[in-house]
Each structure stands twice: as C-alpha cells, then as structure tokens.
Chain A
Amino acid sequence: MSLVIRNARPYGEEPVDLLVEDGVITEIGAGLAGPEGAEVLDGAGQVLLPGFVDLHTHLREPGGEESETIATGSAAAALGGYTAVFAMPNTDPVADSEVVVEHVRRRGEEVGLVDVHPVGAVTVGLEGQKMAELGTMANSRAQVRMFSDDGRCVHDPVIMRRALEYASALDVVIAQHAEDHRLTVGAQAHEGVVASRLGLTGWPATAEETIVARDCALAREAGAALHICHVSSARTIDVLRLAKEQGVRVTAEVTPHHLLLTDARLTSYDPVNKVNPPLRTAADTEAMRTALAEGLIDVVATDHAPHAAQYKDTEWAAARPGMLGLQTALSVVVHTMVEPGLLDWRGVARVMSERPAEIGNLPDHGRPIAVGEPANLTLVDPDGVWTVRGENLASKASNTPYEGMRLPATVTATILRGRITARNGEVA
C-alpha cells in the first residue's frame, strides 16, 4: 500500500512531496511519482505535522455509551488530527485491571481510526485506598504506560508516594488530577469575583497548587515521572518552574479551554461552561499561554469529556463537569498560540505531538517527518476558518463551549501508519 502526499509543507516550511510505503515514509523530495496505483493526497501547500497525541481523553466506553463510544470518540479524534489518544479510566467498570484495559485497547484496534491507549487507574475503583495492579496492566496486551485516577485526585500522600515509587520501576508515568478535595467541597466554579456574585461555591486555585507542590516533592524523592493533568491556575506555574529547576521529572498539560475561556462566561449559568478544574480568570489564561510557549507546560491535552444532554441541560449544580475537545483543540491552539506569535508550527508539533508521545512513552508517534519514520501525520489548512456546531461534531454528545464560534485552521487529512483516517471533515 503506497501513498504519495504532494505539495505539503512540513512544519509550515518548504513544500515537498512524500512517499509513504507500508506505513513508513520512504522518500521525501520534489516531483515524486510513486509506484503505479499509489493513492495521491494533494497537500495544496498546507502544513504537514506529526499526528497529534492526546494524553487526556474520555471515551466513556464501557459504561457511558449514551455520551460517547470508542467508535464515535475515535472518529472525533481522527477528524481533530489525532493519531493516538489516551483513554482515561473513569469508566464503568473502572479501567483498574488488565481485563478492562485490554478490552479498551481491543475496541480501539477494531475501530482502527486512532491508536487508543488505555490509561490505567492508580487505585482500585478510583477510590484512593488501594493501589491497582499497575505492573499487570503495564505488561498486559494493552501495554499501559500512563496511570491516573483522573476526575479524582490521589489524595492520600502515602498512596501517592507508593504509587510513584512503584511506577518508577515500571517506566510508566503517574498523571495526577491535582485537587485537594477538602478545599473544594461543593465547589462549582473558580473561587473569585464571578463565582461570589453568582453564589457558586468556589474552587480555590490553592487546591491545585498545594497538591502539585506536594507531588513534586514526592516525585523528587521517588525519582519517578509525574505528569500534572489540566493545569488551570497561574500559581501552579510558579510551583512547576521551581520543581523543573530542581530537576524533578515533572511534566504538565493545559487544556484548550484553559487557554481560551474564562469564568466571565458563567453569568448565563449554562452548564456547557462547567468543567473541572473550572474556567478561571483572564490572568490565568494569559499565564497558561506564556507557560506553554516557554515549555513550563509541556503539552496541550484536550480533557475531551462528552456528556449526553440529560447530564448537561440542567441547573448548574446538577450538571456534570466537562466539555468536548478533540475536534476543536487545534483551532484553539492556533487562535491562542500561533496567531499571537507565541508558537510556530514546530512549536505546535512539539506541544500536540512530540512531547505528548514522549510523556506517554509511544515510540511510533510524535516522530520527525523524515525518511524511515512512521507515517503518522496531520495535514492542516492554516487559512481555513470554520464555525463550531456541536451537532455537527462526531462525538455522540454535543457539549461544546465553542458553539457558534468562528475558529481558525482546519484539519484536512489525518494519516495513521500510512492510511488516511480522516479527510476534509469526513472519516475515511
């Protein structure tokens, strides 16, 4: 099986043709013909990037199929330019055993639109009490490389310490949802002026900052790899800076919504804006952008969290937190980072593909666009503009906070091991 990509600009640089054979880039040059019968993809002078890798996706299967399935979530991922996603374990049953992680992995392979890497739970049932069988999951057919109790914080410092120590021998990373839940009892929104006026119980930024500080100290002692999920507060950046200066093996992600949206949107009480950690202030989004540009925050991860309408079209307090992210991530990154000159296309490749693949320990993703490398690629029209409509997104749910927004940049093709998985807004 051969594919010729004509006139594409790797990292937005000089246009080239690429020949892909059996899932590997075999030639890069000008005027490549390719073997007879090869499929041809016209790059039209668009930007070619390594396929995106999302460290933080909720595919909801098993158990939450009214909101998303591995099939619909994989389609959303392919259309968003992703070639690999990490599926969080807060499913029903929880992905805390090799049985569940292997099931998720196998369903992902059957769908075949994106590499689905299950994230294993750190503790049994996400209950924070007893360590799950990390080694068994890591060595299972699912090859779990990241563990997280996402949605909940591993709160007990002893459990967190042991998990980090244990994980250090398995060459896996522990991803922490940093939230001191004693400080966020009943929390509904960022603790600040807006929440106070709206009578919504506050989620103080200190609840994130203190757990990140604690876990960086624990990771330093354990010599373990720690990843911080969805950093949302400017204060957390200061903690990360200090930890990284001290050589702690800590990495961090920011979501597209924490780069763009603020709690000013909450005045309508429309729960489409409800997410955990909550939307914070303009000063926080500014700090997120700067930290991402400087590398203090390593990657963009979507925290794609589909919820069926009955869980969202309610009063604020009853609504589940979370928003769709896979199909809007690139556009939000272009809008918040590329357009203001904070990142170039090399930078986009770094934060959306290369670093996530390194953190998630995926040897075949986030690779350079070069001969001999796997053909996991995303073609982006940098001049494309589109209007977000939740009902048109591939996810089963339509809880997008970007409804009606006009956003820049469109994904025109996604290629997984030489096979086109999405093209011009259609799953292929």
Chain B
Amino acid sequence: MKHLLSVTDLDAAEATALLDTADRLKQALLGREVRKLPTLRGRTVITMFYEDSTRTRVSFEIAGKWMSADTINVSARGSSVSKGESLRDTSLTLSSMGADCVVVRHPASGAAHRIAAWTDRDRAVTGIHTSVVNAGDGTHEHPTQALLDAATLRERLGGIAGRRVGIVGDVLHSRVARSNVFLLATLGAEVVLIAPPTLLPVGVEEWPCRVSAELDAELPALDAVMMLRVQAERMHGAFFPSSREYAIRYGLSPERAALLPDHAIVMHPGPMIRGMEIAPSVADAPSSAILGQVRNGVHVRMAVLYHLLAGASS
C-alpha cells in the first residue's frame, strides 16, 4: 500500500489485514500503563487539515504518537495557506521537509488524489516518498472512517459478511456514506441506503447497495443502523421541507430504535446533532456503538500508518 486515497484501493484481503492489525495493536496496548509502541520511531507524520475537525485530526495524532512517530499538525488557518499558497505548493513543501506521511482533510473532492499525484511526480526527481492518507475529501471519501466502522461492526456483531447495515440520511453530501457503501460491499455486507430522494446521488442505483425511502420498514431487519449528520446549510437548498419534518421522518427516536432487533447496534460518525437525526437517549443507550467507533478509530489509524510506513502488509 502506497497511499490510502479511497476504499477502492483495498480488496477484501487488504482491508481485513488492516482490521486484523488494528485488533492486534488494540490488544498490545490493552492494560498498558505506558501506551507507546516503538514501531514508527523516527518517522514523521504531518496532518494537513483544511477543514475544522476534532475527532479525525486528534485520532490521527494519537495514532502516530502511540507508535512513537513525530506528528505535526498543520491547519489552513495560521499557515501559508491563508497567504494564498496553492495546495500543490503547500503539499510539496511539507513532503520536501521529509514527511513520510501526509494526512489530508480538504473540502475539495479528489484533493488527496491530487496531492498523491504531485508528490509521486516529485518523487521521480527527489527520490523522497511521501504516503498520502485521505482523511476526508469534500463529498468523496473518508476511508479511515469506513475502516473504523468496519472494525466496530466486526467487534460488535462478530463479523461483517452477510450482515445488513442501514445508512440513513444525507447520502448525497456524505463522504462517510460513499466510503462505507464500497468498503462494506467489499467485505460482503448488505448495505441499504435510507434517505429522501433529494438526498440520494444521481446514479446511486449503480452502487453495490439497495435504496429505500422508508426507515420504519427497514429497521426490523437491520443488524446495524448508521445515522448521518444533517448539515444545517442543507435546509436552504430545498432538500427537505424543515428540520422538524426531517426529524419526524428520518430521525432515530426511541420508538423507532425499538423497531431494531435486540442485537442491532446504532452508529454515528459524529459530530451528532442530538434531537435532529438521533435522540439523545438512543445515542447514549447500550445499543449505541458511537464511542466504540471513536476508540476503534485510533487503532485503525495506527494500523493504516503502520501498513503505509512500516511496510507491514506482508
């Protein structure tokens, strides 16, 4: 693995290997007083965030630090980006400083692909190799989120193949949904997208999943339901009439959560808008895997850095 730009970079064996590594790292750290492995000592990981983020940025930083990598955070604000530097120049600058890995979050779909293309082109001249990890690009993908969701499903349901996962809400604008649909399909899960037609992308029928507009009809047969955040600005785009109607039709209320089978889990990539797409009591119930997702995020990102930087896929 050279870069992690899209979940389609991974076949089932590679994705499973990453999840297995994440499990092993989790076990290795369990109960340790000093949570520090020497694995990536001397390696430099730079996070480059052009969008606000708490969990993803911190999660990558912790993942790097727990493996003794030197992690450095760059955000668009307070950097040369605010002086008008291009994405190409910023990324080549950081790669030239010796970054072994650049973790990038950017509002433009495909930004991580472009950075990988630029650094690969530069590598031909300098010989410096920089791995690029996509930490969320526009409305395209968020591969480590899908991997941590897969880790959580595996942990809580005992497996992924054959399980039915519902993804509810703003699929159109969701990089989480895209990464999950394609990764879960690769791993043999059955995915159902549940959303009003206005929040589904054109051509979604070509994706490896089923589509439904009726949440109540789907819930009793789901092994997991993944709620997507609904961004306030969508209200102005006439995607649905009101937040009230959205909450009534697609929000996961306690009554609706009761339609799920007993073993089913509730997931959310965060940040949650309590009372909109998910009721507080549902988010905090024992069936909720939301904080487990966050915990698994660190181990999955450790596994990704490990596979990229320590050449550990073998």
- A199-B138, A199-B141, A268-B117 in contact; A316/B204 too (CB < 8 A)? no
Given A199-B137, A199-B141, A269-B109 in contact, is the A314-B114 Cβ separation under 8 Å?
yes
* CB proximity to B under 8 Å, residues A303-351: 310, 313-318
B201 within 8 A of A: yes
Pair B108/A315 contact, Cβ less than 8 Å: yes
A199 touches B114 (CB 8 A): no
Q: Is A193 in contact with B206, judged by CB distance below 8 angstroms?
A: yes
Q: A313-B88, A314-B87, A316-B108 are in contact. Are A199 and B140 (CB under 8 A)?
A: yes
A96 is an interface residue with CB less than 8 A from chain B: no
* Cβ-neighbour of A270 out of B107, B117, B138, B178 (below 8 A): B117
Q: Which residue of B lies closest to A316 (CB)?
A: B110
Residues of B within 8 A of A318 (CB): 87, 108
Q: Would you give the 0/1 interface string for B130-171, flagging 1 where the beta carbon is closer than 8 Å to chain A?
A: 000000011111000000000000000000000000000000
Chain B positions within 8 Å of A197 at CB level: 178, 203, 207
A315 touches B202 (CB 8 A): no
Q: How many A-B residue pairs have CB under 8 A?
A: 68
A308 → chain B, closest Cβ, in Å?
12
Query: In the assembled complex, which residues on chain B have CB atoms less than 8 Å from the CB atom of A315?
Result: 87, 106, 108, 110-111, 114
Q: Say how far B90's CB is from chain A's closest CB, in angstroms.
A: 11
**CB-CB nearest in chain B for A318:** B108
Complexed CA–CA distance, A194 and B203 (Å): 8
Q: Closest Cβ of chain A: how far from B292's Cβ, in Å?
A: 27
Closest CB in chain B relative to A310 CB, distance in Å: 7
> Which of B137, B141, B202 contacts A202 (CB under 8 A)?
B202
Q: Are A317 and B113 in contact (CB under 8 A)?
A: no
A196 within 8 A of B: yes
A200 within 8 A of B: yes
Partner of A192 from the list B110, B111, B141, B203 (CB cut-off 8 Å) is: B203
Chain A residues within 8 Å of chain B by Cβ, number: 24
Interface string of A198-225 (1 = CB under 8 A from B): 1111101000000000000000000000
In B157-204, the 8 Å CB interface with A consists of: 175, 178, 201-204
CB-defined contacts of B117 to chain A, threshold 8 Å: 268, 270
Cβ-based interface call for B242 (8 A)? no
The proximity string for B residues 195-237 relative to A, scoring 1 for CB distances below 8 Å and 0 otherwise, is 0000001111011000000000000000000000000000000
Q: Is A354 an interface residue (CB 8 A)?
A: no
In-complex Cβ contact of A199 among B175, B202, B204 (8 A)? B175
B202 contacts which of A192, A269, A313, A314 (Cβ < 8 Å)? A192
Contact bitstring A375-415, B, C-beta under 8 A = 1, else 0:
00000000000000000000000000000000000000000
State the Cβ distance, B38 to closest chain A Cβ, in Å. 36
**Taking A268-B113, A269-B114 as contacts, is the C-beta distance between A198 and B140 under 8 angstroms?**
yes
A115 close to B (CB within 8 Å)? no
Cβ of B239 to closest chain A Cβ, rounded Å: 12
Identify B88's interface contact among A196, A204, A314, A316, CB under 8 A.
A314
Tell whether B86 is near chain A: CB-to-CB under 8 Å: yes
B107 touches A317 (CB 8 A): yes
| Residues on B with beta carbons closer than 8 Å to the beta carbon of A317 | 107-109, 138
CB-defined contacts of A270 to chain B, threshold 8 Å: 117
Alpha-carbon gap, A339 to B265, bound state (A): 59
Cβ–Cβ < 8 Å partners of B207 in chain A: 197
Query: Which chain B residue has the least Cβ–Cβ distance from A191?
Result: B202
Which A residue sits closest to B86, measured CB to CB? A314
Which residues of A sit under 8 angstroms from B206, Cβ to Cβ?
A: 193
B168 CB to nearest A CB, Å? 18
The CA of A263 and the CA of B184, in the complex, are separated in Å by 26
Closest residue of chain B to A313, judged by CB? B88
What is the chain B residue whose CB lies nearest that of A310? Answer: B86
Query: Which residue from chain A places its CB closest to the CB of B206 in the assembled complex?
Result: A193
Instruction: Assess A316 versus B109: contact at CB under 8 Å? Given A198-B140, A199-B140, A268-B117.
Output: yes
A269 cross-chain contacts in B, Cβ below 8 A: 109-110, 113-114
A314 to B141, CA, bound (A): 19
Chain A nearest CB, measured from B159 CB (Å): 27
Which B residue sits closest to A193, measured CB to CB?
A: B203
Shortest C-beta distance, A235 to chain B (Å), equals 14
Q: Is the CB of A196 within 8 A of B202?
A: yes
Instruction: Tell whether, in the assembled complex, residue B87 and residue A198 are in contact, meaning their CB atoms are under 8 Å apart.
Output: no
Most buried by B among A197, A310, A314, A315: A315
Distance (Å) between the CB of A199 and the closest chain B CB? 3
Question: Which residue of the partner chain A has the closest CB to B171?
Answer: A196
Q: How far is the CB of B217 from chain A (nearest CB, A)?
A: 24
Q: B228 to chain A: closest CB distance in Å? A: 14
Nearest neighbor of B200 in chain A, beta-carbon distance? A196
A318–B108 Cα distance when bound, in Å, is 8
* C-alpha spacing A310/B85, complex, angstroms: 11
A313 to B203, CA, bound (A): 29
Give every chain A residue within 8 A of B108 (Cβ-Cβ).
315-318
Q: Which residue of B lies closest to A199 (CB)?
A: B140
Q: Nearest Cβ in chain B — how far from A341, in angstroms?
A: 33
CA distance in complex: A317, B86 (Å): 13
Whether B139 pairs with A199 at a CB distance below 8 angstroms is: yes
Q: Which residues of B contact A188 (CB under 8 A)?
A: 109
Residues from chain B with Cβ under 8 Å of A201 in the complex:
139
What 1/0 mask marks residues of chain B from 63 to 89 whose CB sits below 8 Å from any chain A CB?
A: 000000000000000000000001110
Chain A residue numbers with a CB within 8 Å of B203 are 192-197
Question: Does the CB pair A199–B107 fall under 8 Å?
Answer: no
Which residues of B lie under 8 Å from residue A310 when comparing CB positions? 86
In the bound complex, CA of A194 to CA of B86 (Å): 26
Q: Which residues of B contact A316 (CB under 8 A)?
A: 108-111, 114
Nearest-neighbour CB distance to chain A for B133, whole angstroms, equals 16
Question: How many angstroms from the CA of A318 to the CA of B109 in the assembled complex?
Answer: 10
Complexed CA–CA distance, A199 and B141 (Å): 8
Kindly list chain A residues whose C-beta atoms are within 8 Å of the C-beta of B139: 199-201
Min Cβ gap A9→B in Å is 45
A344 to chain B, nearest CB (A): 38
- CB of B197, distance to nearest CB on chain A (Å): 13
What 4 additional pairs, Cβ within 8 angstroms, besides A196-B202, A204-B202, A315-B111? A191-B202, A196-B203, A197-B207, A318-B108
20 contacts between A and B (CB under 8 A): A192-B203, A194-B203, A195-B202, A198-B109, A199-B137, A199-B138, A199-B140, A200-B139, A202-B201, A268-B117, A269-B109, A310-B86, A313-B88, A314-B114, A315-B111, A315-B114, A316-B111, A317-B108, A317-B109, A317-B138
Binding site for A on B (CB under 8 A): 86-88, 106-111, 113-114, 117, 137-141, 175, 178, 201-204, 206-207
Q: What are the 5 closest A-B residue pairs judged by CB atoms, nearest first? A: A269-B110, A199-B140, A193-B203, A196-B201, A199-B139
